[in-house]
Structure 1
């Protein structure tokens, strides 16, 4: 029974953190209600399969998959090309399908050639600290805006939503630090249910809209049409894959700190995770969904719930996969208020701050770590304040980096630290020769 409760909690966490992306992208491409429902279903379906693949043959850690923010950004950028560089949004969606397929191929290439394993050496404690802190800072804006009830249609604070969010946050915080272990273990699902009921009581939930009348609905292959292989998108996919690898490595590194696995050779883990990610990107292209990536927030979830076992995670992923096949259930899950998800995730990410600080303390050369952190954090956080429309006339690859403070800051941290290490080694060699 305990495993099933833990699995149900994983399922709720996965869906709550993933449903916003397909809804937002569907809105960007002005998809019809039926197309939106199908897009949500296919995305959740892929996330369930992707998590199972990673849990069984990939990194074999309890790290859920979510819609990759990088792909989300590329979708958003390409949506603006409709009627200019490309004839229609439909044509763009087939190009994006082709891009995800090529991303899968690139993942295979990096994993098989061994380049992926070499990239893991760049993720020192300092770089991991910078990555985690930037991740927290980047998402904190979404958490607070969501808890305030601020959306595209509601540009001002909604007091009722704020009160409901604060109540949900307090409940989640209280249960996650409860003295009774089983309450602490299932604190997330308890808080989600209480928060959901609270928002129903205050009348801040959306009505259930079941667009698909079928009892069971299987996801459609190439729902937007046959994939188009555009040279510009192929080049973009190559660089996006490099950035997704960076994200994947960081997520695994953080989870390894929470859930130590001594029986798995690190090189094999990262290589297998890369191969699994290749399959997952292919599935995203084949099923006209959003390419997935291991979510770093899973470490905070595991740390908060103390559910370290892999089996409940895989079982929860199976639940996600199964529930995606039932349109009625998907419609119910889609009514989970976003502020409830943000409030609960806020509590989860409190543990992430602690994980980041632990990584920083591991660094022996504190002076170098502080310098690298200062340079990269200023660059990453500064980029978060630059408006998206500032990159309208820049290449997609450049925009994907400069418009993403997390990625930009992490790259700056890696480059700065490697330069300092090279400089230090050169000085030592020069002294030895003299």
Structure 2
């Protein structure tokens, strides 16, 4: 149920939503672009088109129609789940295959949106908690390398990088300790801005990219070339999108409760279909797969403002920012050490979220212990020692050599093997007075 907000407050509340998700939105293109050795100009485009597509995807999801839109005050952004798979596909097959895989996976999600309610049953807390934990753990090495100055940089591991990265980390922690509400929600963004200013005083910031960037540009299809469609990258990205759908399901249901709106299977189907279309748009514009951002749910709950007009305003702000490359170029001047200090917090929070999901699992059952133990071990092993799979054909190697995908597949397969093939009915997780898992709610409402 939506509440009315005066026109004068809509802009400020919309801007607050943008600021709350901005750090997460720009980190994905920065991490992927730098890992794939994009030029500064290409990186600026990547950030700009990402912001624009975030705005379009948010508008489609919040605007409820007969076939599209969950109709809740949601914000969509580029998914952290896709970082390592995109880098892996890009390094092995090239950018054209990355975007071909994203387009195909988005089309898969859009077409089979109605079936995802049944597929969600394959993702109980023991699977989702394991998957999210593996995602966070597989991202940590990237954050730590950035803290040291970024791989292959001449000043890797220097004292300046150490002080910058830990200074940003300390500032974020201090803000979370001594502030609440809006200031706390912006702690990562404030840390990045403060760290970049400190780096500028040390001569580690180059503003040439901002000076050379234009004030306006129009988005274009296939900016990095025509997409290529290859089986292994497509299968990898489909698995990634399945994980994204599970994450978004939890956010949909949490926000539905905040807004006192019970979601129907039809609502969920529209939400899944819209996410599929958003992912396709990411591929067409050479951006990213998108999912619903959980951090913005906290803002809705904190402010108690549930009107979608605020989200429509936020989507408009994102689209305007995406049309101004000079603003997007500001993100590209952030030094790797500053970025690392911020991402180690975000990636650590992903791990913590996974652990929190796992607290709902009955670990007295030895089978659940085996699912978690084997999946996390294989996921981390594939991240740290991808050479393990060097002897496999390239089509299989791109799937299993990525820790996120290996851990996810292991969790799904082992859960089916141990729990879903048993004749004994698995007992439901206990419902606590303070809440239950989003995935548990998903199974109850959709099945």
- Coarse TM-score class (shorter-chain normalised): 0.7 to 0.9
Query: Take 1:126 and 1:204, find their aligned partners in 2: how far apart are those partners?
Result: 44
Match of 1:293 among 283, 290, 295: 290
Match of 1:273 among 271, 279, 303: 271
Aligned length: 403
Query: Take 1:181 and 1:202, find their aligned partners in 2: how far apart are those partners?
Result: 32
Match of 2:78 among 48, 58, 65: 65
Query: Take 1:366 and 1:313, find their aligned partners in 2: how far apart are those partners?
Result: 44
Q: 1:108 to 1:348 in 2, by over 3 A?
A: closer
Q: Aligned Cα RMSD in Å?
A: 3.5
Question: What SS is found at the alignment partner of 2:208?
Answer: coil
Question: What SS is found at the alignment partner of 1:19?
Answer: helix
The answer to whether the 8 Å contact 1:22/1:40 transfers is no
1:248 matched residue in structure 2: 245
Superposition pairs for residues 109-148 of structure 1, below 5 Å? 109-111=111-113, 114-148=114-148
Query: Take 2:267 and 2:87, find their aligned partners in 1: how far apart are those partners?
Result: 27
The answer to whether the 8 Å contact 1:214/1:327 transfers is yes
1:387 matched residue in structure 2: 386
Q: TM-score if structure 2 supplies the norm length?
A: 0.77
Shift of 1:191: 2.4
Shift of 1:227: 5.0
1:77 matched residue in structure 2: 92
User: Does the alignment pair 1:342 with 2:340?
Assistant: yes
User: Does the alignment pair 1:24 with 2:23?
Assistant: no
Query: Take 1:35 and 1:172, find their aligned partners in 2: how far apart are those partners?
Result: 29
Structure 2 gaps, min length 5:
1-8, 427-447
User: Does the alignment pair 1:49 with 2:56?
Assistant: yes
Structure 1 gaps, min length 5:
80-91, 429-434
Query: Take 1:195 and 1:34, find their aligned partners in 2: how far apart are those partners?
Result: 23
Q: 1:160 to 1:108 in 2, by over 3 A?
A: same
The answer to whether the 8 Å contact 1:300/1:351 transfers is no
Query: Take 1:359 and 1:35, find their aligned partners in 2: how far apart are those partners?
Result: 38
Query: Take 1:186 and 1:305, find their aligned partners in 2: how far apart are those partners?
Result: 15
1:84 matched residue in structure 2: none
Query: Take 2:40 and 2:353, find their aligned partners in 1: how far apart are those partners?
Result: 41
1:321 matched residue in structure 2: 319
Query: Take 1:392 and 1:46, find their aligned partners in 2: how far apart are those partners?
Result: 39
The answer to whether the 8 Å contact 2:279/2:289 transfers is yes
Superposition pairs for residues 169-318 of structure 1, below 5 Å? 169-210=169-210, 214-224=214-224, 230=229, 233=230, 236-238=233-235, 240-253=237-250, 256=253, 260-261=257-258, 263-265=261-263, 267-287=265-285, 289-294=286-291, 298-299=293-294, 315-318=313-316
Question: What SS is found at the alignment partner of 2:122?
Answer: coil
Query: Take 1:345 and 1:313, find their aligned partners in 2: how far apart are those partners?
Result: 26
Query: Take 1:369 and 1:183, find their aligned partners in 2: how far apart are those partners?
Result: 39
Q: TM-score if structure 1 supplies the norm length?
A: 0.79
Shift of 1:71: 3.4
The answer to whether the 8 Å contact 1:101/1:282 transfers is yes
Question: What SS is found at the alignment partner of 1:73?
Answer: helix
Question: What SS is found at the alignment partner of 2:422?
Answer: helix
Deviation sequence 1:34-72 (CA, Å, 0-9, x none) = 555445533443233234433445454445224733334
User: Does the alignment pair 1:101 with 2:103?
Assistant: yes
Q: 1:205 to 1:405 in 2, by over 3 A?
A: same
Query: Take 1:400 and 1:194, find their aligned partners in 2: how far apart are those partners?
Result: 38
Q: 1:406 to 1:22 in 2, by over 3 A?
A: closer
Shift of 1:293: 3.1
The answer to whether the 8 Å contact 1:185/1:306 transfers is no
Which 10-residue stretch deviates more, 321-330 or 46-55? 46-55
The answer to whether the 8 Å contact 2:54/2:76 transfers is no
Q: 1:47 to 1:236 in 2, by over 3 A?
A: same
Question: What SS is found at the alignment partner of 1:263?
Answer: coil
Question: What SS is found at the alignment partner of 1:362?
Answer: coil
The answer to whether the 8 Å contact 1:360/1:369 transfers is no
